[in-house]
Structure 1
Amino acid sequence: MLGTVETRSVSPVFVGRTDELDTLNDALARAAAAEPQALLLGGEAGVGKTRLVEEFATAAARRAVVAVGGCVEIGADGLPFAPFSTALRALRDAVPEEFAAAAAGQEEELARLLPDLGEAGAGRHDEQGMARLFELTARLLERVAAAHTVVLVLEDLHWADASTRHLLAYLFRTLRAGRLLVLATYRSDDIHRRHPLRPLLAELDRLRTVRRIELARFTREEAGRQLAGILAAEPDPAQADEIYERSDGNAFFIEELAVATYDGNCTGLSDSLRDLLLVRVEALPESAQRVARIVAEGGSTVEYRLIAAVAQLSEDDLIDALRAAVGANILTVTRAGDGYRFRHSLVREAVADDLLPGERSRLNRRCAEALETDPTLVPADARVMRLASYWYHAHDAAKALPAVLAASVVARRRHAYTEQLGLLERAMELWDSAPEEVRAALRPVDYTEVYPPCGCDPVTTPLRYLDLMAEAAVAGRFGGERERALKITKRAVRLLEDEPDPLRAAWFWVQRSRLVQAMARGDGWQELATAQDLVRGLPPSEVHAEVLAVAATWSMQHRPGPEALAAAERAVQYARMVGARETELHALLTLGGLTVEAGDHRTGLEQMRQVLRETREEGLHPVAGRAYVNLPSALRSVGRDREAVPLLREGIDFCRRYGLLDSGAWAWGNLSDALYALGRWEEAAEAAAHATHGDHSAKPRGAGALRLAHLALHRGDLAEAGRQLASARSWYGTHDPRPQQSLPLARITLGIAAAEGRTADTRAALLPALDAGFPPGTHRLAWPLLLAAATAEAGVRTLPAAQPGRAETLDRLSAAARTLTTDVPLWSAYGQWTRAELLRAQGRDTKDTWTPVVTAFECLDRPYDLARVRHRLAGVLLAEGGDAERERAVELLRTAAEVADRLGARPLADAVARLAQRARLTLGPGPRPGPGRDSAPADPAAALGLTSRERDVLGLVAAGRTNRQIAEALFISPKTASVHVSNILSKLGVSGRGEAAAVAHRLELFAAQPLPAETPG
């Protein structure tokens, strides 16, 4: 029996896990049906996660391509994206032709994950660099999974580096196509409150597309079956009970206790977990124990040749030692067959923890020396990272500093910015300990991309501590570790107080501005102003050009006007003088947009087209992505929505191809606006939804939600409009108010309040914008707001409760309208419309007021706006009377009703129907219910459930009558009048007489029948 136990500590019988296997097989069936699946498998160490995955993967391999990758321990020691690199390599080996076709054209970028594809290019390094890589990886998997069912297994997620966690989260959020199953495992008992995996698990729990499986311990019956499998015989019941009690059902502990017990090692066996795990290791020959210690400290897996170089045993002795360790099920051969790893990570941790401090340093030093002597001992893509880890843990600062810096460069090339930051922080930790001659030999060109902004030669000038801080700050910003990056910039600015360097200090202040804005801690202007003060009067430089370009872009977004235009012109000039090409193109794009807003449309649009052409030709994809957002936006600002649509769709494809998530989201939002204007509301809603979903930043999500609120408002769904407005506010935040956010927010807020009859709230939403004024360039946002406010005032012109403050509001609206430009037909039409609504608010509009407005919109490609002004013209034509006027009104209302019906614009459709009913007009076949619209009675009072008497009472309430006055007018008792008022408030869903009156006026329930004059109180 003992011989059997020695070779069968792992049960050949797979025990239990029926429910879990059913879940995995069900997910595989769904994936095979082109429904991507995402699963998380958690359980404590030793509970059997790996065995379950192996059983599932073995069975799945008969009908799918299975690719497995494992994480290495947390920290800056492992190769970033290691599990994905391993899994993608297995996928490529399994289906080489399909993999090559899926990766075609993107090999250079994908080589950051799979170096086998070639040399990863220097590429772009910015906030979107990692997102580009993630998007390309998702597309690669989708394409391969289009032809094959693919099972992607990522083991030991509790050890995942930050980049691996980010990529996994991206895949779980975005994969929507392909026959793909992604399964990730993690050790649940390791996930303490501060574990970096904990936030990811919480985030994934909120995704309905992700399923969690928690693996429980074995029952007593299952433990008995496991023991029987290990022993190849039924265990002694008493012994089995003791083992089960001590193991508490943990599968791995059952194995260890079984071996220890039946090997006769139970005497004096400690209850300590470490002793339990070490008992079989200590029973090995000394040479095998030495090999186990090398493998424990050498990494998650260690190559045979590296073991041989460090162990310094004869080949026969080494083979005997390895055979003993493998035979005892301590070590196992790697999948590739070129090295060894511990069969269970718990044993590896126990062996590593048992090392003495000096012993650990010595082992790491010997690994590093062996690797330096023969770099081929480990795979090329892992060499630099492994060497950095070995020297760091050997506590040799002279060797560790350059090795850690070299590893940081590898992390940067892989877009693993969080790992790069960790390595740079190690370098800063080692800096003072490293000998001066070592530091003097380091050069910025070798280890940093953020070269010293002081005009020094990065090839000949020694690397400085501030250079490391600059590189680390950028790595933190790109990797989303903004708090760490901000702390680094604060330390750098303090250091520069003692070592004045204006250019370098200005550069750090620009980084602080970006970080403050990204972290919602301010608008960043104070930091930018400090940077401008620092460079003022200095000769032109790249830093000077960048400061001016960033300031110009900030001004375009916050304070557009002549000063912003001048700053953009200076930025272009300085960038050209110093050869900062990318800064030049960014500044030129800003300049083009500001030029359009200043009225020189032709010049500005051509400048922006030039930037788009040149950035595409030169491969400057982030600037091109921004151009695909700003150029269509400028076209829309001059009323050329139809021209903007194909450009936006082209831009969306471009942004998806190069992983420009934020630019893509902004493009979706702009597309929604253009489609709305063109009367393609269903497509507009889909585009806005794209902007709200995805793995991009908050502000484009807020813009998408605001567009959905706008659509819901004009479709009459006030509840949905309110929800989307609240969502937009939460995404935007309050730290960085910009006209492009605050003015549309005010417009939707005002519109909802007006639709609900809340006049005071309507004005409260308007007044802050009027108080702030409308800087040049904000007319495209200001005109819709002023129009909405004027329309709301016209809608309550006869409401007594609306009179206080009304005259002042109308005066301020008129004054604001006079300050806005009308330099293109679109805004000229909006100006005429706004002035017409202001006249309507005063009861002074006529057909001569509205006819030129209709004519203006008939020349534009905006069907909904045209339908609205046609409805207004029809109203005044009917009021003025005459057969010709009635015939013209019928035609206007019929076309307006058709548009409202097609768009599902319920408020407009109801207004057209009410006007036609009051004038006793027949418009032909009644409008069919549109999207989000129920079939409603033509009479709005009946639609609200009001009786004829209640309608009379509501008319008097709207006129401001008291219950006693209502009773006298209708010859009823005051008590009966009170009952009618209560019923009306209930049916209208309002809380007071003022709100009821507002509803009556908004729905124009009494426009056709003048109310009796109010009796003095």
Structure 2
Amino acid sequence: MQLLQGAFDVAGQGAGRTALVSGEAGIGKTSLVTQLVAELRDSRVLWGGCEALFSPRPLGPLYDMADALGSKLKAMLGLEGRRVELFTSFLANLQESRETTVIVLEDLHWADAATLDLVKFLGRRIQRVRALLVLSYRDDELGERHPLQMVLGDLPADAVVRVPLLPLSEAGVAELARRARHSADGVYAATGGNPFFVTEALRAEGMPATVRDAVLARAARQTPAVRALLDLAAIVPARIEADLIDAILAPDRADIAAALASGLLTADGRSYAFRHELARFAIEQALPAPLAATLHGKMLACLERREPPVATSRLVHHASGAGDSSAVLKYALHAGDEAASHGAHREAASLYATALVHADALAPAERAGLLERLSYQCYLIDQNDKAIAARAAALPIWRELGDLQHEGLTLRWLSRLHWFGGHKQEAEEYASQAVELLQDLPDDEAYAWALSNRSQLYMLSGHTDESVEWGTRAIDLATRIGSHEVLAHALNNVGTARYAAGLSDGRPMIERSLEISLAHDYEEHVARCHANFVATAVKNRDYAEARLQIAAATRYFTARDLDSWSNYIEAWQARLDFEQGQWDAAATTAIRLANSHGVAPVTRMCALTVLVRLRMRRGDPGVKELMEELKTLASASGELQRLAPVAAALAEDACLRDAADAVDPLVLQAYTMAEQRQDPRSRGELRYWCQKLGLADPGPEGTEAPYALQLSGQWREAAQAWDRLGCPYERALALLDGDEAAMREALAIFESLGATATVRRCREHLRCAGVRGVARGPRATTSANPAGLTSRELEILALLTDGLSNAQIAGKLVRSEKTVDHHISAILRKLDARSRGEAVSIASRLGFGTTGGDVVGRA
């Protein structure tokens, strides 16, 4: 309560906060939040919850609070394509409120994708409003890939208060038993201290073996009429409207009073709900299948007649429970389309999958269309194997029907999906099949898509001429038949291929693609334009342009939460920071992406490459394991843009370890490919490292300018070129080939970057060159501990152990917060930790302790 009250007080000063109330089912989350709301009298409360429907209603919590949001917002609910405007209006509503607002969103572990998008939207902006956003969820039901897990990880840490609820202690359980005049023997052991378990066990007669038995025992003591009421309420998640119970059962007041007196149900005037969701679930699971189907059927019939119409997802829930295939198909398809329009792609996929189970009665073309809808939603939510399986199942249906257009489009999609899955050969085969099948339909949009898909594959693999040839054909056809979407897609492919090759007309083509995509609201194509602008600018070392494009992309993504694309651009941001010597920033971004689940392989490869090279240069642990994963991903992609950075990392690693006789075969594979593709960037870096390893004696021709200077022995000019580009590490490598003064300058640069492993090799190089007075290693205070922490870092780690914030540490050490941030980043990196708490834990395991506020190493 103190944590929540404190967060509310800060929010009331205009700096909103998010409170995460978590714990297992029955731990008391609702009780805590209810008590908080009761004590905060001078505030506006907006309360909504998520439900355990077969597929939740998109933005269900907003419907719960709709009456309190005003007519404008209420009117926007349910309108297709208005999600961004709806969220923005909700935020404006909070900003305009004179009172501090408490927004309660319960049971987020059941949230639909649109509701999670709302949480992310509000959570990222909560500091701008006078509001406390209270999110409750069952943390024991969040697997590693649960979508809520990723949303919580993206919330700004400085605006989040975590309130984990723990079970009752054994003494607490004994006190409850004493107050209930019940024996405490065995209660704690049987319940684990869960408040709901304890309460139900103490209310039951005798000690039940499980809570399920406790709930069912209480239900069994009711009259048949009351038990019928409980059974009906149990098939409806969250709450059931009173008029529905009246319509189906027509209970008398005595039966309703008895149901409420049982302690299982509660009432709020217009609806009834189980006091605990676990109780509802226990009764629902105990229902005989025929009785459950009958109750679902009656509920479905009532809801179908209801005015105004109820959420389609509720109809799907009861149609599924009733086993009514025709109703499932009718409502699941509509609800799936509705969910997709709200951006609730997970729910859409679930609904389409439910419909597919009942799709035997559909005509072949309708069944194939359903498979395509399911495939597309799976593609959007990173369930690529399911997406491929659904498209593959649709393919023979279109062939049997003789529908060449749909067959060709399916082949094109199978090509795209296999590319996403890392199966380059299959992607190429399907792409060729699509073109061959559709070439006899020269004026068809499906053929235009096949041509553009072929161009895209060539662009991605670095075949510029082929990409331009196929893309130009797609542009001509799309223009002739008036297909704006194919035109935008093909312009992007051709423009990116030419822009990456350094041709001046490439960029305007991407800009035209972006203009078309914005005009027609093709969000995916807009995102692709931004991504290709950023990636190509970084690849061409046009870092100023890359930063401008990242800023533009961020502005576009802010209101849309297109995470797959924003993550991709963040990976390139990490690479940009890495190449420009901003290693701590690069590491922070790369670690976040590497530790995130569901990140696309192309994004993960970029982040892992940055992380591997940072750890390798700094001598940090964990390089080998990450490198093996990286090699597997890059090899499966078969693309030079993925292989070349990995090969460069492998070659540099061999140089740092003085292991020229054990170079990974991937290095020469990528080197050969770079020569074949005549790619200046890849050629330059790989030629440089291969020359250092004695694997080749290449010339400077055809490489980017700084590497050409280095390869020709012009170290001073190369260092100046790297300096103009803003690449300190590469500048130091060039200086290392120079005279004594240049070599000493190189050593200083490596030390300033924290490149411990490179510094060690640099010192050896200087000593071999006869340079005197070169220190042999880090100071004794740094090497005295297994993690290589400096004295200052050890001091800060001690203060972290004491629970001090960055600001408090800065004040204690008389340093700026930014300096403390840098030190903490270094501590996390050296300890291979993901958080401050994990760093403290790791330090303890390594044998560090505190003595008078200082951390000391014990060998």
If the length of structure 1 is used for normalisation, what is the TM-score? 0.63
CA distance in 1, matches of 2:734, 2:386: 58
The DSSP-based 3-state class of the residue aligned with 1:810 is coil
Instruction: State which of 46, 52, 62 in structure 2 corresponds to 1:73.
Output: 52
> Using the alignment, how far apart are the partners of 1:497 and 1:605 within structure 2?
40
Q: 3-state DSSP class of the match of 2:712?
A: helix
1:85 and 2:37 are equivalent in the alignment? no
* Contact map agreement 2:312 2:335 (CA 8 A) in 1: yes
- CA shift, 1:276, in A, is 5.3
Residue in structure 2 matched with residue 221 of structure 1 by the alignment: 174
The amino acid that maps onto 2:246 is: A
Whether contact under 8 Å (1:871, 1:912) holds in the other structure is: no
- Contact 1:165 1:197 survives alignment (8 Å): no
1:882 corresponds to: none
1:287 Cα offset (Å): 5.2
Task: Say whether the 8 Å CA contact 1:589–1:627 is kept in structure 2.
Answer: yes
Give the C-alpha shift of residue 469 in structure 1: 1.0
Identify the match of residue 403 of structure 2 among 460, 485, 501: 501
- Measured after TM superposition, the shift of residue 899 of structure 1 is 6.8
> After superposition, what is the alpha-carbon deviation per residue over 1:366-416, rounded to whole angstroms, capped at 9, x for unaligned?
33333333323xxx5x43222233334334434442122222222222322
- Aligned match of 1:726 in 616, 627, 634? 627
8 Å CA contact retained: 1:546, 1:571: yes
Change (3 A) 1:479 1:89: farther
Selected match of 2:428 from 525, 550, 567: 525
Cα distance in 2 between the residues matched to 1:199 and 1:665: 16
Aligned to 1:367: 299
Equivalent residue, structure 2, for 1:779: 680
C-alpha change, 1:249 and 1:286, in structure 2 (3 Å) is: same
Asked if structure 2 preserves the Cα contact closer than 8 Å seen for 1:287 and 1:318, the reply is no
The verdict on how the C-alpha distance between 1:749 and 1:308 changes in structure 2, with shifts beyond 3 A counting, is: same
Q: In 2, Cα distance between the equivalents of 1:577 and 1:752?
A: 53
Secondary structure in 1 aligned to 2:22?
strand
**Does 2:267 align with 1:333?**
yes
Superposed displacement of residue 592, structure 1: 0.9
1:890-942, CA deviations, whole angstroms, 9 ceiling, x for partnerless residues? 7x78987887787667899999999999999xxxxxxxxxxxxxxxx962375
Counterpart Cα distance in 2 of 1:142 and 1:834: 61
Aligned equivalents of 2:481 and 2:224: distance in 1? 66
Given that 1:913 and 1:938 are in contact with CA atoms closer than 8 Å, whether structure 2 keeps it comes out as no
Q: Tell me which moved more, 587-596 or 344-353.
A: 344-353
Whether 2:17 is the aligned partner of 1:40: answer no
Q: Does 1:939 align with 2:773?
A: yes
Alignment match, 1:301 = 239
Give the counterpart of 1:768 among 663, 669, 672: 669
What is the CA deviation profile of residues 485-505 of structure 1, one whole-angstrom value per residue up to 9, with x for unaligned ones? 333233223444544433323
- Per-residue CA deviation, residues 269-297 of structure 1 (Å, 9 max, x unaligned), is 99897775456556656655544443333
Indicate the larger mover: 619-628 or 213-222.
213-222
Q: CA deviation at 1:588?
A: 0.5
Distance 2:750 2:195 in 1: 67
User: Which residue identity does 2:54 align to in structure 1?
Assistant: G
Aligned to 1:586: 489
Contact 2:81–2:342 (CA under 8 A) maintained in structure 1: no
Gaps of 5+ in 2: 780-859
How far apart, in 1, do the equivalents of 2:716 and 2:175 lie?
A: 86
1: distance between equivalents of 2:264 and 2:737?
88
CA gap of 1:329–1:583, structure 2 versus 1, over 3 A, is: same
Aligned length: 766
SS of the equivalent of 1:602 reads coil
Give, in whole Å, the separation in 1 of the partners of 2:302 and 2:471: 56
Which residue does 2:547 correspond to in 1?
645
Q: Secondary structure at the match of 2:79?
A: coil
- Highest Rg: 1 or 2? 1
Matches within 5 A, 1:287-436: 288-311=226-249, 313=250, 318-334=252-268, 337-349=269-281, 351-352=283-284, 357-376=289-308, 382-433=310-361
1:698: how far off? 3.8
Q: 1:855 to 1:330 in 2, by over 3 A?
A: closer
The 1-side partners of 2:320 and 2:255 are apart by 28
- Quote the offset at 1:555 in angstroms: 1.8
Equivalent residue, structure 1, for 2:80 = 121
Give the 3 Å change call, closer, same or farther, for CA 49–180 of structure 1 in structure 2: closer
SS at match of 1:774: helix
Does the Cα contact within 8 Å between 1:725 and 1:745 map onto a contact in 2? no
Q: How does 1:712-723 map to 2 (within 5 A)?
A: 717-719=618-620, 722=623
Which 10-residue stretch deviates more, 776-785 or 663-672? 663-672
Q: Contact (CA 8 Å) 2:591, 2:611: kept in 1 or not?
A: yes
Match of 1:737 among 609, 627, 638: 638
2:554 maps to 1:616: no
Q: Distance in 2 between matches of 1:147 and 1:902?
A: 50
Aligned positions of 1:660-809 closer than 5 A = 660-674=562-576, 696-710=599-613, 717-719=618-620, 722=623, 726=627, 729=630, 732=633, 734-762=635-663, 766-776=667-677, 778-790=679-691, 792-793=692-693, 806=694, 809=695
- The 8 Å contact of residues 18 and 123 in structure 2, kept in 1 or not, is answered as no
Is 1:835–2:677 an aligned residue pair? no
Give how far 1:744 is off. Answer: 1.0
Percent pairwise identity: 18
Between the aligned partners of 2:482 and 2:590, the Cα distance in structure 1 is 39
Identify the residue that residue 799 of structure 1 maps to in structure 2. Answer: none
Q: Does 1:184 align with 2:136?
A: yes
Ranked by relative contact order (alpha carbons within 8 Å, sequence separation 6 or more), the top structure is: 1
Flag structure 1 segments of 5+ consecutive residues without an equivalent. Answer: 1-20, 101-106, 125-131, 228-234, 434-438, 441-461, 794-805, 837-848, 879-889, 921-936, 946-1017
Counterpart mapping for 1:521-560 below 5 A: 524-560=427-463
In the alignment, which residue of structure 1 is the partner of 2:848?
none
Q: How far is the alpha carbon of 1:585 from its aligned partner? A: 1.1
Does residue 1:154 correspond to 2:140, yes or no? no
Per the TM alignment, residue 245 of structure 1 is displaced from its structure 2 partner at its CA by 11
Deviations 1:677-696 (A, max 9, x none): 66666666666667657674
- Once the two structures are TM-superposed, the CA of residue 184 in structure 1 deviates from its matched residue by 3.0
Q: Provide, for residues 662-681 of structure 1, a one-character-per-residue CA deviation record: whole Å limited to 9, x for no partner.
A: 33333334445555666666
- Residue 475 (structure 1) aligned with residue 407 (structure 2): no
Q: Write the distance in 1 (CA, Å) between the matches of 2:151 and 2:164.
A: 8
What is the distance in 2 between the residues matched to 1:775 and 1:167? 45
Q: 1:288 to 1:176 in 2, by over 3 A?
A: closer
Partner secondary structure for residue 659 of structure 1: coil
What SS does structure 2 have at the residue aligned with 1:432? helix
**Does the 8 Å contact 1:142/1:180 carry over to 2?**
no
Aligned-partner Cα distance in 2 for 1:676–1:511 = 35
Match for 1:79: what amino acid?
Answer: R
Kindly indicate whether the alpha-carbon contact (under 8 Å) linking 1:718 and 1:752 is maintained by their aligned counterparts in 2: no
CA distance in 1, matches of 2:719, 2:201: 89
Q: Does 1:516 align with 2:418?
A: yes
8 Å CA contact retained: 1:122, 1:413 = yes
Secondary structure of the structure 1 residue equivalent to 2:505:
helix
Q: Could you say if the C-alpha distance between residues 732 and 120 of structure 1 is closer, same or farther in structure 2, counting changes exceeding 3 Å? A: farther
Work out the CA distance in 2 between the residues paired with 1:28 and 1:151: 11
CA 762–305 in structure 1, closer or farther in 2 if over 3 Å, else same: same
Indicate if the aligned counterparts of 2:644 and 2:670 stay in contact, CA closer than 8 A: yes
CA change 1:765–1:349 in 2 (3 A) is closer
What amino acid is the match of 2:651?
Answer: L
Checking the alignment, whether the CA contact within 8 Å between 2:448 and 2:478 is kept in structure 1 is: yes
SS at match of 1:340: strand
Amino acid at match of 1:781: S
Query: Which residue identity is paired with 2:507?
Result: L
